[in-house]
Chains A and B, each alone.
Chain A
Amino acid sequence: KNEVEQSPQNLTAQEGEFITINCSYSVGISALHWLQQHPGGGIVSLFMLSSGKKKHGRLIATINIQEKHSSLHITASHPRDSAVYICAVSGSRLTFGEGTQLTVNP
């Protein structure tokens, strides 16, 4: 069993839909990160959180430390949101989930 598990692996949505990507982890962490990787490989850090909830534009990230679970939400999704979203947890290094491939169709 991977230390960081994401679901779903693939997600296709229509423009405007509300999207949720889930991440569960099984190890102790100091922080959880949500990353975005576009085709071509560049990785952008979206959020780092250790408790509660953070919001940036249409993106919202939540974490429940007791349940070892985090969610990434995208409101009013747009085709430019199409990317791989990666959950990662940090101790001394980042441990990555396998990623969720999101495709938003116009």
Chain B
Amino acid sequence: GAGVSQSPSNKVTEKGKDVELRCDPISGHTALYWYRQSLGQGLEFLIYFQGNSAPDKSGLPSDRFSAERTGGSVSTLTIQRTQQEDSAVYLCASSRDKANYGYTFGSGTRLTVV
């Protein structure tokens, strides 16, 4: 597609429920990143996929968070047993290659855990 597409744009969920957030990167972009931004805070790295390499999961805040990238394209970020502190905007970005090309960000998924 022309840009990075994220869905849903907004998600309200009850504490304890699982949620799935989707990111569809720009076609041909091998690098895909998930970040989150809590209210009034800076951007926090979550996970990074590069081609067929093992993902860099070092930013995931707990084992309730996981992500997959199927076929080197679409990625799904799953949060199990959501907590109120998970409320944030979850941003996906893609790039042609690691580090040396510009990033294109999606418009994010605003997650609210009530």
Contact = CB atoms under 8 A, between A and B. Distances in A.
Contact of B108 (A30, A41, A48): A41
If over half of B's interface residues share one DSSP class (helix, strand or loop), that class is named, otherwise mixed; here it is strand
B100 interface: yes
Most-contacted residue by chain A among B33, B89, B98, B102 (CB, 10 A): B102
B45 A95 contact: yes
A42 interface: yes
Given A41-B107, A42-B107, A94 B102 contact: no
Contacts of A48: 101-103
B100 A41 contact: no
B107 A98 contact: no
B99 interface: yes
A92 B102 contact: no
Interface in B78-114: 89, 91, 93, 98-105, 107-108, 110
- Place the interface of chain B in its size category: 20 to 34
Nearest to A98: B42
If over half of A's interface residues share one DSSP class (helix, strand or loop), that class is named, otherwise mixed; here it is strand
Nearest to A4: B42
Interface string B26-64: 000000010101000011010010000000100100000
Given A35-B105, A92-B48, A94-B35, 12 more contacts: A41-B108, A42-B105, A43-B91, A90-B100, A91-B99, A92-B56, A92-B99, A93-B48, A93-B59, A94-B45, A95-B45, A99-B42
The 8 closest A-B pairs by CB, nearest first: A43-B105, A90-B99, A30-B99, A96-B43, A48-B102, A98-B42, A45-B102, A93-B48
15 contacts: A31-B100, A33-B103, A41-B107, A42-B105, A43-B93, A44-B105, A45-B105, A88-B43, A90-B99, A92-B56, A92-B99, A93-B33, A93-B45, A93-B56, A94-B93
